Amino acid sequence: MASIGRDTTISWLGHGTFHITTPEGKNLLIDSWVETNPACPDGWKQRVRNEGLDAIFITHGHFDHIADLLSLATLTDAKIVCMFDLVSWLTAQGVGEERIVGFNKGGTVEVAGVRATMTKAEHSSTYNDNGTLVSLGEAVGYVLRMSNGFTIYHTGDTAVTYDMLIVGDLYQPDLTILPIGDHFTMDPRQAAYALKLIRSKYAIPGHFGTFPLLKGTPDQLRQHAQDFGVHTEVIALAPGESVA
């Protein structure tokens, strides 16, 4: 497995949930499906509870991305970073407004020592609130720039879009985290084309294998990347594994 060597540890907790430890030792969570995530190892569930979180980044409002958001907001002192449209819903659920960092696509905020820019994603964002389907703004991705310059682009749940070329041009991410499962997001061929646009040195696939519908695999991503002449190194993690 590749060693990135930038004092940043990226761990896949299964499905679309990723944990990042920054060069300063801050703990970030991208999408909060941990306790009820069937792919998340028990050790990680315990670790998140015990070690706490400094920030939780939310890409969109589907249950498999925010199911444990409110419980983790109670258990930790994490800042909640999200699309501005989620702020009123979160405060209505009892999350203190002072803990919420709500902004919008194109904007940049600094949270836990990380400069985070919100990017476009092509997906939906709704939540089933006791039988009522609630709109929670739009789906997004994030460009996360560590203090040492190491840059991660998490695309969020999305189809491939030409906007990814702009992200590659503007931010030149070192690492891309992107879905490959198909059905609800990009399949491996679309994801490989996305990497052609982004041009990052490394990529970590996610949002696959949790359910039978999510059939894409890292090997398929590698094959399609080769077909497109993409030289990005695909780092395939199993749920619970990390790369640093």
Q: Please, what are the averages of pLDDT over each run of 10 residues along the chain (244 residues)?
A: 90 98 98 96 95 97 95 95 96 96 98 98 93 92 98 98 98 98 98 98 98 97 98 98 98
User: What pLDDT was estimated at residue 1?
Assistant: 64
Q: Give Cα 176 to chain centroid, integer Å.
A: 10
User: What pLDDT was estimated at residue 8?
Assistant: 98
User: What pLDDT was estimated at residue 3?
Assistant: 87
Give the chain's domains with CATH numbers. Answer: 9-236 (3.60.15.10)
CA 8, 67, 121: angle at the middle one, nearest 5? 60
Strand partners, 83: 103
Query: Rounded to two decimals, what is the model's pTM?
Result: 0.97
User: What pLDDT was estimated at residue 229?
Assistant: 98
